[in-house]
Amino acid sequence: MTADNNIIISAEDLCKTYVLGKQEVKALCHATFTVKKKEFMAIMGPSGSGKSTLMNLLGCLDTPTEGKYYLNGKLVSTMTENELAHIRNREIGFVFQVFNLLPRATAFRNVELPLIYKGERKQERQAKVLNALKLVDMTDRMNHRPPELSGGERQRIAVARALVNEPSILLADEPTGNLDSKTGQDILNLFHKLNARGNTIIIVSHDMNVAQQTQRILFLKDGRIEREERKGVRA
């Protein structure tokens, strides 16, 4: 890999093959690309295109069958389990289509949980949680529980939880999939705001309206990167 301090992700010939009984399923084939710091991009494709597989590899939730994945200049395949756990907890913030919030816990508590797992002291946790809630404009709802919040508010809390450890990357899997169009646009506007303050954001989506609001789109088809578009420029 060529050293470049501006590159946060470098994927070289990433492949993922699943063995189902006697059958091999090639979910991802020879994906090669880089992601720069502070970039806002989308990975797009229909169901079965490999986009969720690629997201799992980028999020260190799975390992490639072949190829190399560098995160912040370090080869992920050489990392120990403890290092991978550290990456998933602190370097990557995950936002999912289903909000994955604890229904009986307040918004504040839901955002605080990653810091509790990390072992941070209470005073430090409170400051970081308040800062994350402020970023998503949810400080006035922090004592409410998820059933008392709208879908858009729940997704904002999920984004705050992803941000609370100040990760290098935000990975969002269909973040507007369970929202109406107006609320979905509100969440996209939030991502634009976060990107403007320096967050690297990767959205996985099958919705062209979502993808077109990013700076760059990788199109996947049958496990391969079919093409790439940057602000209307096709490659």
Position 71 in a domain: no
Q: Nearest Cα to 159, choosing from 126, 127, 125, 195?
A: 195
Tally of structural domains, the chain: 1
Domain carrying residue 114? 39-63+80-234
Helix (H) or strand (E) holding 158: helix 151-163
Cβ neighbours of 97 (radius 10 Å): 17
| Per-residue pLDDT, 136 | 93
Position 31 in a domain: no
| Per-residue pLDDT, 1 | 52
Position 18 in a domain: no
Position 180 in a domain: yes
Q: State the pTM of this model.
A: 0.90
Position 169 in a domain: yes
| Per-residue pLDDT, 212 | 93
Q: Nearest Cα to 103, choosing from 34, 41, 160, 149?
A: 149
| Per-residue pLDDT, 76 | 93
Position 3 in a domain: no
Position 118 in a domain: yes
Upper half-sphere CA count for residue 21 (Cβ side, 13 Å): 1
Angle between helices 122-135 and 151-163 (to 10 degrees): 130
| Per-residue pLDDT, 56 | 92
| Per-residue pLDDT, 3 | 58
Taking phi over 0 as left and psi of -120 to 50 as alpha, with beta for the rest, 27 belongs to alpha
Residue 177 has which token pair?
Answer: 């999939």
The tens place of each residue's pLDDT in the chain, 235 residues long, gives 555 789 999 999 999 999 888 888 899 999 999 999 999 999 999 888 999 999 999 999 999 999 999 999 999 999 998 899 888 888 899 998 888 899 999 999 999 999 998 889 999 999 999 999 999 999 999 999 999 999 999 999 999 999 999 898 999 999 998 888 999 999 999 999 999 999 999 999 989 999 999 999 999 999 999 999 987 545 4
- Asked whether the beta carbons of 52 and 204 are under 8 A apart, the reply is yes
Position 186 in a domain: yes
Question: What is the CATH classification number for the domain harbouring 58?
Answer: 3.40.50.300
Measured CA to CA, the distance from residue 163 to residue 165 in angstroms comes to 6
